A and B are shown apart, each in its own frame.
Chain A
Amino acid sequence: MVVPTLRQKKRYVHLRFECPCNISENEAQAELYGALLSFLGELGFSRANPKLVEFNSTSKSGILKCSNAEIQNVKAALALVNRVKGENGCIRILKVSGSVSKLMD
């Protein structure tokens, strides 16, 4: 168990895939990790420590957890996505919050 003060500060990003195709949770995770890895590199990716917490394939929206310190870089990486599953599309950031419950409000 880590002491609360030593725990990494995190942020939750509510995002939505805007593309004509259907997308499953695994595909969404691959797209997100691919985008983050290509923009941030391996070192930046490890610092951002992203994790797809939740994904709804019907609404194509999900929640990505990442480090608070790297939130701006994560937002930039997701904003620079212009293809999803090989088709024109983008990842729209809807809201950023420190807790999952607030994202759902």
Chain B
Amino acid sequence: MPEYYDLGVRFWEDGLEKHANSLGFKSICSFSKEGNGIEIRAQRLEDLKLGTPGKITLLSSQNPELLKKACRRDLDMLLFGRFLPDVGLVRIAAENKKPFEIPVSVLLERKGAERALLMSKISFFLKICNKYKADFILTSGATNKFFMKSPPELVAIGEALGLSHDQAVKSISIIPEYILER
């Protein structure tokens, strides 16, 4: 049985790791002051100051050109908030083995047609990732305990986004494990 990881928690509180373990995760990465990850939000190349060694670095940007340049730098994950099907970006990310983060919280924050359209965008983005063999990681992106999802729930959401069962499982087990060991 694979071991599951949630590499996209956006908050920290006492007993968080215990709560994550009770949900079925072996380990989590929290992008907060107390956590083991750093999220860099950048719009221009000049804003790009890469993180502390020993911490998982996530670059979050709406600018695909910046993400393309950042792929060659020392960081662990990419978050392209617009989920546009930029083939160039996906190919460069695949060549440099930089996985994309797919936070489920972006769906939770939306309702109705807005959620449906975003699901369609993410679904197509994942299809392109699969075509060019770029890695992706499904994360909860949780900002509170209610937003944290268990591994079977993340797999179910992954399947709703058009992934196969194996792809969804891989995206919360093998790929995050590889990032943590790196």
Determine the chain B residues whose CB is within 8 A of the CB of A38 once the complex forms. Answer: 111-112
CA distance A71 to B156 in the complex (A): 9
Chain B interface residue count: which class?
20 to 34
How far in angstroms is the closest Cβ of chain B from A48? Answer: 13
Within 8 A of B (CB), among A32-54: 38
Q: Are B108 and A80 in contact (CB under 8 A)?
A: yes
Determine if B96 is an interface residue (Cβ-Cβ < 8 Å): no
Q: How large is the interface on A (under 10, 10 to 19, 20 to 34, 35 or more residues)?
A: 10 to 19
Q: Would you call B146 and A93 a contact (CB within 8 A)? A: no
Number of A-B contacts (CB under 8 A): 46
Whether the Cβ atoms of B146 and A72 lie closer than 8 Å is no
- Extra pairs beyond A72-B155, A76-B160, A79-B154 (12, CB < 8 Å): A18-B145, A19-B146, A38-B111, A38-B112, A73-B159, A75-B156, A76-B159, A79-B156, A82-B147, A89-B146, A92-B150, A93-B150
Across the A-B interface, give the 6 residue pairs with the lowest CB-CB distance, nearest first.
Answer: A75-B156, A79-B153, A76-B160, A76-B156, A90-B146, A82-B108
What are 20 A-to-B residue pairs whose CB atoms are below 8 Å? A18-B146, A72-B156, A73-B160, A75-B156, A76-B153, A76-B157, A76-B159, A76-B160, A79-B156, A80-B108, A80-B115, A80-B157, A82-B108, A88-B144, A88-B146, A90-B146, A92-B150, A93-B150, A93-B152, A93-B153
Interface residues of chain B, those whose CB is within 8 Å of chain A, are 104, 107-109, 111-112, 115, 144-147, 149-150, 152-157, 159-160
